[in-house]
Amino acid sequence: MPVFRCPGRAGAAIIRPHIESSSGNHLKKSGKPDTRGPRIIPRAAHNVSRDDVSKSALKVLYRLNKSGYQAFLVGGCVRDALVGLHPKDFDVATNATPEEVRALFGNCRLIGRRFRLAHVRFGREIIEVATFRAAANHVDDDVSHDQEGRILRDNVYGSIEEDVWRRDFTCNALYYNIADFSIWDYTDGFEHIKEKKLVLIGSVEQRLREDPVRMLRAIRFAAKLDLEIDKAILDDMHEHVDRIANVPAARLFDEFLKLFQAGRAEKTFDMLREHGLFAQLFPATDRELDEDETFADFVRAALRNTDRRVDEGKSVTPMFLLGVFFWAPTERLAEIRRAEEKMSESQALSLASYELAAEQQQRVSIPRRFTVPMREMIALQPRFTATRGKRALNLLSHRRFRAAYDFMMLRAEVGQFDSELARFWTEVQTQSQDDRADAFQLQRKPRARRRSRRRRRGPKSSQPS
């Protein structure tokens, strides 16, 4: 059962904050929050507005506050609003326990074993509500770690002053108080955002050991917000980059989506490669990037295309980018398979991509709903070289044609595919049926002759004999 070590109501005077005019650091040398309380930034001194907050999140905050609980927005939504981005996800922190949150909201359900959370649902939008957490200091605390020190479960509840210690980076440890619209800052995160610095709270070695995903998060935040990563983080990251292998593969897929579908994919890719993290996620791809400059150009073109689509508000699918990452390793393995066994190029590509996807599951677990269409997209590539006959024409109606066509056009962009053939497949999509038949050198079907209607005659009258 979770442990809760402080009174549940705001009236219990859990903290005694004070306002400081300076930006004094409230972290002790040990890295733990100073008990003096937070620096409070009043509404007039920051740019976070309720206009930036979803109506659903405001409903949750107001109801918690009116019921006597503390209620704060915390994390990325506060950080993004401060730097002028439009927040999309809203996390609420409170001194109400998950059970108390559920009692307030009929549209709430409790989730999670690793971290017990309350999800309050408003249609498709979910507001995540977390109870303030504290460090585990008692034998019966509901917390556990694996042999490497990674947190497996952490459900020890406490006060906001203890909760700030459980957060990762100072820029994510800013609390927006719905009671007076101020921001509470225990770790100088407000100043670090202004200075464009990414700083980890507490002992860097310990924080990266207990959750190695923080290395990936450091890259993501630095790329997204144009922050400089603190040297202490980089030093420990370079020394213990292999800790990523200790993270569940399914969780790394979630991180892959956040890294490459947020509109900063190319910059994120460069930083992951620079600091040795990309090799931990996609080892086969990383090896090919070192050996094949054309493949590196192809990957970059795909990343730029992904960023452009995100900026334009268009949809992106991880299937496409995964296919790009697997392309060169798949081609290499397909050649080996064709040499070993007689099969077509398409069959060899399909088999090779299947083997690579299966091997990849040990690092980043990719759901089947993405690997299957990815394999089909890759296997269709050789068919773009044929432009005659009915089979070539039928490619246009294949369910993966559009993805395969976009993939082929990227290859043509970097000189991996014939530009004249690429132009052919572009033009043929808009042609009439007759022109398309000519393009694929098919015999036009003769138009059916229209049969003239005969005038219907009535029955002949019988003649008397």
**In-domain check, residue 134:** yes
Give dist(CA 153, CA 54) in Å, integer: 30
Centre a 10 Å sphere on the Cβ of residue 197 and count the other Cβ atoms it contains: 18
Same domain for 198 and 286, yes or no, is: no
Task: Say yes or no: 302 and 171 in one domain.
Answer: no
DSSP string, 316-345: --HHHHHHHHHHHHHHHHHHHHHHHS---H
Based on the fold, state whether residues 59 and 167 are members of the same structural domain: yes
Could you confirm whether 168 is annotated as catalytic?
yes
Q: Does residue 416 have a pLDDT over 50? A: yes
The residue among 3 and 218 whose pLDDT is bigger is 218
In a domain, 272, yes or no: no
Nearest by Cα to 149 from 208, 234, 223, 100 = 208
pLDDT at 399: 96
| 80 counts as catalytic | no
Q: Is the same domain home to 288 and 196?
A: no
pTM of the model: 0.81
Nearest alpha carbon to residue 357 among 330, 335, 384: 330
Q: 4 falls in which pLDDT band (50, 70, 90)?
A: very low
CA 210, CA 153: separation in Å to the nearest integer?
A: 11
Share the mean pLDDT of the chain: 87
Does 94 share its domain with 192? yes
| Number of domains into which the chain is organized | 2
- Band of pLDDT at residue 29, cut at 50, 70 and 90: very low
Which CA distances in Å does 256 have to 61, 70, 166, 378? Answer: 31, 34, 23, 20
Inside any domain, residue 449 = no
Give kind and range of the element (H or E) at residue 297.
helix 293-311
Q: Are 146 and 18 in contact (CB under 8 A)?
A: no
Is residue 314 a part of any domain in this protein?
A: yes
> How many angstroms separate the Cα of 48 from the Cα of each of 69, 84, 176, 195, 451?
22, 9, 8, 18, 75
Its domain, for residue 174, covers: 3-202
Query: Is 213 inside a domain boundary?
Result: no
| Longest Cα–Cα distance in the chain | 129
Helix runs in 125-264, H state only: 160-166, 189-194, 204-210, 213-225, 231-239, 249-260
The verdict on residue 376 lying in a domain is yes
**Residue 247 covered by a domain:** no
From 29-33, 171-175, 423-427, 452-456, the region with the lowest mean pLDDT: 29-33
Catalytic residue, from 52, 154, 163, 168: name it: 168
Q: Answer yes or no: 89 catalytic.
A: yes
Supply the CATH number for residue 410's domain.
1.10.3090.10
Same domain, 171 and 287: no
Whether 315 maps to a domain, the answer reads yes
Indicate which residue of 52, 80, 91, 141 is catalytic.
91
3-state secondary structure 402-413: HHHHHHHHHHHH
Distance from CA of residue 200 to its chain's centroid?
Answer: 21
Q: Which of 89, 142, 211, 292 is catalytic?
A: 89
Statement to judge: residues 285 and 198 lie in one domain: no
Residues 182 and 304 in one domain: no
Q: pLDDT for 366-385, tens place per residue?
A: 999 999 999 999 999 999 99
CATH code (residue 182) = 3.30.460.10
Q: Do 24 and 118 belong to one domain?
A: yes
Question: Of the residues 170, 187, 202, which one is the last residue of a structural domain?
Answer: 202
